[in-house]
Amino acid sequence: MFYCRINNHLKGAFDILRLGFWYIYTHTHTHNCVLITSLFSFKLWMGAHPKGDALIKDNRISQRTLGQWIADFPGCLGSKVKDTFHGQLPFLFKVLSVKTALSIQAHPNRELAARLHAQFPEHYPDNNHKPEMAIALTQFEGLCGFRPMDEILGFLKNVPEFRALVGNEAAEELQSADGDPGRTSLALKKCFTRMMNCEKKLFVDQLNMLVKRISEEEAAGKDTSGSNGELLLRLHSQYPGDIGCFSIYFLNRILLQPGEAMFLGANEPHAYLSGDCVECMACSDNTVRAGLTPKYIDVDTLCEMLNYSPAPVSAKLFPCVRDNADPCVYLYDPPVPDFTVMRVQIPVSARQYTVSALDSAGILLVIDGEAVATSAAALSDITLTPGSVLFISANESVSLQQPCKSRLIVGLGQRAAPVSRFGSV
């Protein structure tokens, strides 16, 4: 049995999250199935990162972590992944249930990650980059990337408290950039940095004034959308007096429906606000934060590293592609080698479905439905229900009997084809 890493600082939406208990089985050429479980959690890690390595608890094998087990049997990763990522599982799978907003943050590229880890290992625990993808399980709300220029300039005009933190000089410089990408990027960086570094008394006073004004306008029945009033009041109620509340005037507000995704590359500012999602990311825990958090913040690093390229919300949605070989499979294939994600929707008519052997290790999560899983590596049949998880080594297939309209999400080290197949018996 494995116990997976759980983070309780995250305030989960218990009424939304249905995947209470988690079960993970590992399949290898040299060992039979090993059960992995964890308690109900707000944030569940599924992987082998040193900070949250799953612990094997099984009387058939000596106690060790998943990372140690992979080190002993690196062939489970598949030869391509093993060679490319030096015998390490290259991705980390998570399930998040977010009720209270998570921090304004970004993740470093490889070069910056190595430098931060060398200088501040207590805050940046590894030297890897951390591109990540969030796939909505329920309606999922977040902030992602800088808004189009006209939206930011509109807030600078209509929200005087926001303009007071940016300053007239920086605001006018942004307005005069006149669409030139280079000038716009530099001016936007100046505006954001000015705001994030303003004196605490100034931003607390301005925030209190803004909250008072919006509250009075709402009480009078006025429309506060021009000040992003509803979100501002919500964030202030969660993090009173926090400079991160003003980030909503710089960053896109994105609302994902179940199955929709956003991909967050290096240096992309973002925050998760509410809802449930599955995350897949490079195997790293490097996060640079600067607001809406009680954790360590590094404002200077964040302001220096960010991608200051304005773009609309539509540019932040990451599309999935239906797999040509299997109409049940939808692929999320980001521009990084560390991972690919598949969403599998099995029709009610299918009585049997096979997740074919891949040349990469994968983690399979059951979202809906029930099935009985069989594998050549398993000692016995495995009953799967919502919340069940399988860690499947390379070159192992899993057959699902009576899948009952199941919905699955699979994270892979690298994509292989064919992915899977189904049939009726």
| Residuewise pLDDT in 10s, the chain (425 residues) | 344 455 544 433 332 233 333 333 333 333 333 333 333 335 778 888 887 787 665 556 677 777 888 898 899 899 999 999 999 999 998 889 899 999 999 999 999 999 999 999 999 999 999 999 999 999 999 999 999 999 999 999 999 999 999 999 999 999 999 789 999 999 999 999 999 999 999 999 999 999 999 999 999 999 999 999 999 999 999 999 999 999 999 999 999 999 999 999 999 999 999 999 999 999 999 999 999 999 999 999 999 999 999 999 999 999 999 988 888 889 999 999 999 998 998 888 888 998 888 888 888 888 888 889 888 877 778 888 887 777 788 888 889 988 766 777 777 666 544 444 433 32
CA dist 423 and 354 (Å) reads 8
291 closest CA partner among 322, 251, 330, 349: 251
Domains in the chain, CATH or no CATH each: 1-147+250-425 (2.60.120.10), 148-249 (1.10.441.10)
Q: Residue 289 catalytic?
A: yes
Those residues with Cβ within 8 angstroms of residue 80's Cβ, 6 or more apart along the chain or in another chain:
359, 360, 414
Sequence-ordered list of residues with C-beta below 8 angstroms from that of 86, at least 6 positions apart, any chain: none
Q: Running DSSP on this structure, what letter comes out for residue 127?
A: S
Annotated binding residues, as ranges?
105, 107, 132, 270
Which residues does residue 85 pair with via DSSP β-bridges, in sequence order?
A: none
Q: Across the strands, what pairs with 371? A: 384
Listed in order, strand segments (DSSP E) in 79-224 are: 91-98, 105-106, 132-136, 140-146
Best CA proximity match to 235, nearest among 98, 137, 354, 372: 98
CA–CA separation, 421 and 46 (whole Å): 25
- Helix, strand or coil, per DSSP, at residue 395: coil
Q: 412, 92 in Cβ contact below 8 A?
A: no
Tokens of 69: 């087990």
Tell me which amino acid residue 53 is.
D
Residue type, 228: N
The whole-angstrom separation of Cα 296 and Cα 294 is 7
Predicted structure pTM score: 0.88
CA gap 92, 130 in Å, rounded: 10
Q: Which of 5, 163, 289, 343 is catalytic?
A: 289
Q: Which residues are annotated as a binding site for Zn(2+)?
A: 105, 107, 132, 270
